[in-house]
Amino acid sequence: MKIGFFFWPFNVEMTETMARHADTYGYDMIGIADTAGNAMDPWVAAALVARLNKTSEISICVTNFVTRQPAVSAAAIASLDLLAPGRTVLGIGAGHSGTKNLGAGKSTVKEMEEQVAFTRRLLRAEEVRVGDGAAQMPACKPISSLIPSGSSRTAFNPRTGRAAKSKSGRSRGWIATKTAIGCANTPVPRWPLARATSSATRTR
């Protein structure tokens, strides 16, 4: 079993302290929340953590594909992996405080399936067709070694084990194995993660 925690990076001092404590107390993972407007930008905070923490896995825990375009998130996690090789995790959720604070909605299960598949392909250094153009990451080091050949493509309710799809068709989270795209609210038996929100539909 692995144990980690996540936090909202309210300021630089707090972020640096959390990074050092994760090393000092032997935490396996440190997660940085993506809650735009409520705290520091998660990628800036994650870069600070990566420069100070030498042992823990570093996760964006969690971001979303509503306010963060998938290709941009793929490039960001690939860049972060240059600072902490083999220790980076891209946590994906349907959207909670990070979307609500910007007046945006949430991703549906279908949208998350498509966008996670799109992001995985970019992280494998593939060129992906987008409309009349193509998305690719020639300037970033591919991190395909972090992506298994088989991966989950279903969102689940952690309490029932069934597809977590509300009446509105909204997803509650994403389950994946240890990859560049990791948990979004639900622990995986072979790789438990610190939980973010229990569902994308709870109140603030």
- Token pair 């735009």: residue: 36
Domains present along the chain, CATH in parentheses: 4-182 (3.20.20.30)
Beta partners for residue 32, in sequence order: 7, 60
Beta partners for residue 191, in sequence order: 188
Q: What is the pLDDT of residues 46-70, one digit of tens each?
A: 999 999 999 999 999 989 998 888 9
With 50 as the cut, is the pLDDT of residue 176 above it? no
With 50 as the cut, is the pLDDT of residue 193 above it? no
Tokens of 167: 């009446």
Phi-psi category of residue 86: left, alpha or beta, with phi > 0 → left and psi -120 to 50 → alpha: left
Q: What is the pLDDT of residues 123-150, one digit of tens each?
A: 888 888 888 888 888 776 666 434 433 3
Q: Which residues of 161-182 are buried (b: 16+ CB within 10 A; e: fewer)?
A: eeebbbeeebbbbbbbebbbbb
The string of DSSP codes covering 22-44 is: HHHTT-SEEEE---BTTBS-HHH
Q: What is the mean pLDDT of residues 105-131?
A: 88
Query: If we measure between CA atoms, which residue out of 62, 81, 71 comes closest to residue 114?
Result: 71
Per the confidence metrics, is the pTM higher than 0.95? no
- Rounded Cα gap, residues 4 and 139, in angstroms: 31
Query: If we measure between CA atoms, which residue out of 13, 3, 10, 86 comes closest to residue 50?
Result: 86
